[in-house]
């Protein structure tokens, strides 16, 4: 290992040291949640600063197995933002239930390390290691509330299906490795380009490998019909963890898709494009249709999360159809979805500060009068998830849909399906707003006092949701550079 290698992986090293720092603080001063939280936020802030600095100069480490480019830096900062916001939202929910905040932060940061490893991986084996490092802590987090049977049930389902999907994904990697002779992302792309240039037929083994990879990744992003674990895992998990699970592993899995399908399997885009189109259409449609029937808001947002996976796949399909804007739209959507969805789950967590409060629709009745500020913020996040201007959600949806229209052909039909689904989704999002402002509260309990961290996290999520909708150009420049770093399709 050289000094250049250490410099390249400095953000990843700092991320690991952040988790170690929180662990040491908790060992020396057990039960001091504010101290553990302060340590986590300070070290994560330092990690973000180093990530930005290192990202100014693209470089590689370990013989090219790990790379730092514009995409790596963008995704790493986004992962850090997800973890920081989750840690800020968590204490108000965890402390009343006597759940350990320091352990929560440690496991969360280790999951972030796996996501950061995925973002910079330029080797298939490293991609798989990063994927497992990201999802294994997720299983622990899903079952974090050990005395809650729903949390345990959701964690078991998440673990079993997650392990099953990881095995399928690994089989796919083995097929691709065996038939191309390399595990390097660029090497796989070159081998596949040579096959395409020589007009050689797609071998059955390679087709099987591609099918395994697609299935494994579809499980991780909760695409239909591989979404069964999502509603139970989301509903059973503690609400701040549900917020994290709805964005962290999803963005990490899309980072895997970008490195694998866009970079390594880019030459076979004509082969996997029809599969992505079908997955996108059925995922957004079924996610929205089932969400329409839900009375539990956490479960409703779980199916909503499945639908948003379908919208993001529209961007990937548009890119495979020859539109660079599709890739940029996918990255922009990931950032916008992060802040608006985390914000929505933060409001639910705030309402559940008082133990025994459920996430049923009735919990939101009269919220606009009982806690006006929380009602306004929840309405904003829901309108953004719907895609109402001038929020981040509107611009994110518009970007991927326009890219699909410009690609033409079957992708125009996919764009129409996306528009119809966005319109259908408005019903269940606006239904919550109706309950907040047009229903009387079910309880006369006084309004709760929420912590400064909760309000700070909500302020950050609100600001980003509005800024990404009102001033999208700043982030567009960043995602354009990130997309160019991995684009392989002319």
Q: Read off the pLDDT of residues 305-340 as tens digits, 9 standing for 90 and up.
A: 999 999 999 999 998 888 888 889 999 999 999 999
Note the pLDDT of residue 82.
94
CA distances from 138 to 157, 221, 335 (A): 12, 13, 20
Note the pLDDT of residue 216.
87
Mind spelling out the 3-state secondary structure of 141-196? HHCCCCCCHHHHHHHHHHHHHHHHHHHHHHHHHHHHHHHHCCCEHHHHHHHHHHHH
Chain-centroid distance, C-alpha 67: 21
State the helix-helix crossing angle for 324-351 and 452-470, rounded to 10 degrees. 150
Residue 79 has pLDDT above 70, yes or no: yes
The confidence band for 201, taking pLDDT boundaries of 50, 70 and 90, is: low
Task: Find the domain containing 100 and state its range.
Answer: 3-486
Note the pLDDT of residue 488.
66
User: In this structure, what is the dihedral angle of CA atoms 39, 45, 47, 53, given to the nearest 10 degrees?
Assistant: -150
User: Poorest-confidence range of 152-156, 291-295, 354-358?
Assistant: 354-358
Note the pLDDT of residue 309.
92
- In this prediction, residues 282-288 reach a mean pLDDT of 92
Residue 194 has pLDDT above 80, yes or no: no
CA distances from 93 to 336, 348, 352, 356 (A): 24, 10, 7, 11
Note the pLDDT of residue 95.
85
Residue 29 has pLDDT above 80, yes or no: yes
What are the pLDDT digits (tens) for 213-270?
A: 888 888 888 888 877 777 878 887 888 898 999 898 999 999 999 988 888 888 888 8
The confidence band for 412, taking pLDDT boundaries of 50, 70 and 90, is: very high
CA proximity to 125, closest of 231, 264, 11, 19: 264
The confidence band for 161, taking pLDDT boundaries of 50, 70 and 90, is: confident
Percent of the chain scored above 70 by pLDDT?
A: 97
CA distances from 457 to 112, 203, 235, 360, 383 (A): 18, 51, 22, 23, 19
Extract the tokens encoding 134: 């990201």
Residue 419 to residue 394: CA distance in whole angstroms: 11
- In this prediction, residues 143-167 reach a mean pLDDT of 82
The 8 Å CB, 24+ separation contacts for 39-46 are 40/87, 40/105, 40/109, 41/84, 41/87, 41/88, 43/14, 43/17, 43/18, 44/15, 44/18, 44/80, 44/83, 44/84, 44/87, 44/109, 45/84, 46/14, 46/18
Note the pLDDT of residue 302.
87
User: Poorest-confidence range of 116-130, 169-183, 328-342, 424-438?
Assistant: 169-183
Residue 21 has pLDDT above 80, yes or no: yes
Please return the burial class of 440, using the count of CB atoms within 10 Å of its CB with bins 0-12, 13-18 and 19+.
Answer: exposed
Note the pLDDT of residue 87.
93
Note the pLDDT of residue 1.
65
The confidence band for 489, taking pLDDT boundaries of 50, 70 and 90, is: low
Note the pLDDT of residue 281.
92
Q: What is the mean pLDDT of the chain?
A: 87
The confidence band for 459, taking pLDDT boundaries of 50, 70 and 90, is: very high
Q: Is the CB of residue 243 less than 8 Å from the CB of residue 345?
A: yes
Listing DSSP states for 392-413 in one string gives HHHHHHHHHHHHHHHH-THHHH
- In this prediction, residues 440-456 reach a mean pLDDT of 79
Residue environment code for 304-328, b if the CB has 16+ CB neighbours within 10 A, otherwise e = bbbbbbbbbbbbbbbbbbbbbbbbb
Residue 152 burial (CB count, 10 A): 15
If DSSP codes are grouped into helix, strand and coil, which group holds residue 328?
helix
Residue 420 has pLDDT above 90, yes or no: yes
Please tell me the total count of domains within the chain: 1
Note the pLDDT of residue 438.
86
Note the pLDDT of residue 199.
60
Chain-centroid distance, C-alpha 158: 16
The confidence band for 200, taking pLDDT boundaries of 50, 70 and 90, is: low
Residue 131 to residue 117: CA distance in whole angstroms: 8
Note the pLDDT of residue 239.
87
Note the pLDDT of residue 159.
85
- In this prediction, residues 291-315 reach a mean pLDDT of 89
- In this prediction, residues 405-415 reach a mean pLDDT of 88
Q: Is the CB of residue 86 less than 8 Å from the CB of residue 101?
A: no
Q: Which residues contact 402 (CB under 8 A, 6 or more apart)?
A: 325, 329, 415
Most confident of 56-60, 354-358, 467-471: 467-471
């Amino acid at each position: 290992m050289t000094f250049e290698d250490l410099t390249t992986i400095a953000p990843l090293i700092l991320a690991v040291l952040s988790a170690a720092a929180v662990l040491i603080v908790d060992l020396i001063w057990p039960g001091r949640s504010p101290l553990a939280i302060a340590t986590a936020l300070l070290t994560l802030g330092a990690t973000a600063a180093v990530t930005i600095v290192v990202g100014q100069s693209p470089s590689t480490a370990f013989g090219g197995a790990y790379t730092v480019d514009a995409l790596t830096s963008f995704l790493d900062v986004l992962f850090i933002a997800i973890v920081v916001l989750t840690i800020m939202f968590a204490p108000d929910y965890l402390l009343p239930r006597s759940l350990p905040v320091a352990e929560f932060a440690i496991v969360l940061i280790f999951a972030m390390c796996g996501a950061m490893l995925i973002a910079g991986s330029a080797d298939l084996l490293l991609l798989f290691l990063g994927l497992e490092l990201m999802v294994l802590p997720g299983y622990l987090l899903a079952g974090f509330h050990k005395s809650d049977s729903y949390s345990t049930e959701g964690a078991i389902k998440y673990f079993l299906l997650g392990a099953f999907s990881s095995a399928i994904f690994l089989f796919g990697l083995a097929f691709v490795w065996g038939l191309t002779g390399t595990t390097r992302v660029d090497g796989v792309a070159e081998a596949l380009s040579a096959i395409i240039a020589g007009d050689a037929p797609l071998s059955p083994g390679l087709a099987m490998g591609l099918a395994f990879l697609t299935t494994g990744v579809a499980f991780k992003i909760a695409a239909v019909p591989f979404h069964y674990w999502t509603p139970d895992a989301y509903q059973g998990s503690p609400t701040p963890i549900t917020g994290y699970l709805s964005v962290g592993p999803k963005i990490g899995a899309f980072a895997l898709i970008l490195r694998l399908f866009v970079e390594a399997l880019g030459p076979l885009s004509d082969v996997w494009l029809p599969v992505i189109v079908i997955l996108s259409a059925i995922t957004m449609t079924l996610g929205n249709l089932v969400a329409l029937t839900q009375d539990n808001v956490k479960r409703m947002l779980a199916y909503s999360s499945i639908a948003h996976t379908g919208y993001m796949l529209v961007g990937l399909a548009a890119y495979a159809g020859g539109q660079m804007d599709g890739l940029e739209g996918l990255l922009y959507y990931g950032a916008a979805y992060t802040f608006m969805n985390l914000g929505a789950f933060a409001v639910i967590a705030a309402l559940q500060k008082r133990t025994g409060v459920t996430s049923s629709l009735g919990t939101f009745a009269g919220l606009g009068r009982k806690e006006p500020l929380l009602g306004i913020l929840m309405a904003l996040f829901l309108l953004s998830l719907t895609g109402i201007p001038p929020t981040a959600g509107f611009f994110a949806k518009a970007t991927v849909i326009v890219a699909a229209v410009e690609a033409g052909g079957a992708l125009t039909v996919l764009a129409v399906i996306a528009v119809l689904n966005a319109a259908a989704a408005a019903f269940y999002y606006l239904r919550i707003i109706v309950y907040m402002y047009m229903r009387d509260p079910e309880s006369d309990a006084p309004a709760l006092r929420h912590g400064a961290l909760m309000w700070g996290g909500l302020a950050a999520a609100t600001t980003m949701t509005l800024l990404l909708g009102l001033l999208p150009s700043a982030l567009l420049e960043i995602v354009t550079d990130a997309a160019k770093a991995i684009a392989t399709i002319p």
